[in-house]
Amino acid sequence: MIHLILIDGSLAAIAAIGFAVISNPSRKAIAVSALLAAIGHGLRFALIHYAMLDISMATFVAASCIGLLSILFARIIHCPAEVFSFPSLLPMIPGLFAYRTILGLIKFMRTADVIKSQGFMLDFVHNGLTTLFILFALVVGVSLPVLFFPKTSFSVTRKY
């Protein structure tokens, strides 16, 4: 159980590093985002598989955990929180669900069979809603701490 979570976390860390460098943050921020991604994604994996939460709820918990930790780290390395909290969310972006949504839509358009097309429509709505809810869960979760402690989160780059 523990080793599965660890594998999941470290894969997420590699993914976070790769997606972070596209947006060119500082080296310290890359290291922190890898750590946060590992914690967040590992937590989500554990919640889905051992606490039987559904994926959007688990994402919400993981994202708020990332949000809280990111404010802590932001105070330590004097860097706006979103610089490393955004890249650490990227491994949780529901890319596979988005892909299946579009695929469902394409299949629906190309079939003439009524029974089959109902199934494809169901796929499209299910995957599309999952994509949307995960996305909202990610952003609301990560910005909850910012909404609770606005002063702290906007003054982390202050050096005194």
Partner 1 sequence: MFFKQNSMINQTNQKEPNIQEIADLLTDIAAELMTSGAHTMRIIQNISRMAATFGYFIELSVFQQSIMMTITNKEDQLNRLTLIKKTKPLLLNFTIVSDLSSLSWDTFDKNLTFEEIINRFHDIVVQKRMSRWLVLLLVSCANASFCALFKGDIYGVGLVFLATLAGFFTRQEMIKKHINHLIVFSTSAFVASLLAGLGYVFHWGITPEIALASSVLFLIPGVPLINSILDIIEGHVLTGIARLVNASSLIVCIALGLFVSMLILGLEKL
Binding site residues, partner 1, CB under 8 A: 8, 11-12, 14-19, 21-26, 29, 41, 78-80, 82-83, 86, 89-91, 93, 95-96, 98-100, 102-103, 106, 110, 135-136, 138-140, 142-143, 147, 154-155, 157-160
C-beta of 99: minimal distance to partner 1 in Å? 5
Candidates 58, 55, 43, 47; CA nearest to 9 is: 43
Least separation in angstroms between CB 128 and partner 1: 12
Q: How many helices (H) and strands (E) does the chain have?
A: 7, 0
What's the token pair of residue 158?
């202050």
CB 151 → partner 1: shortest distance, Å? Answer: 11
Query: Which of residues 51 and 96 has its CB atom nearest to partner 1 in the complex?
Result: 96
Nearest distance from C-beta of residue 8 to partner 1, angstroms: 7
Three-class DSSP labels, 103-152: HHHHHHHHCCCHHHHHHHHHHHHHHHHHHHHHHHHHHHHHHHHHHHCHHH
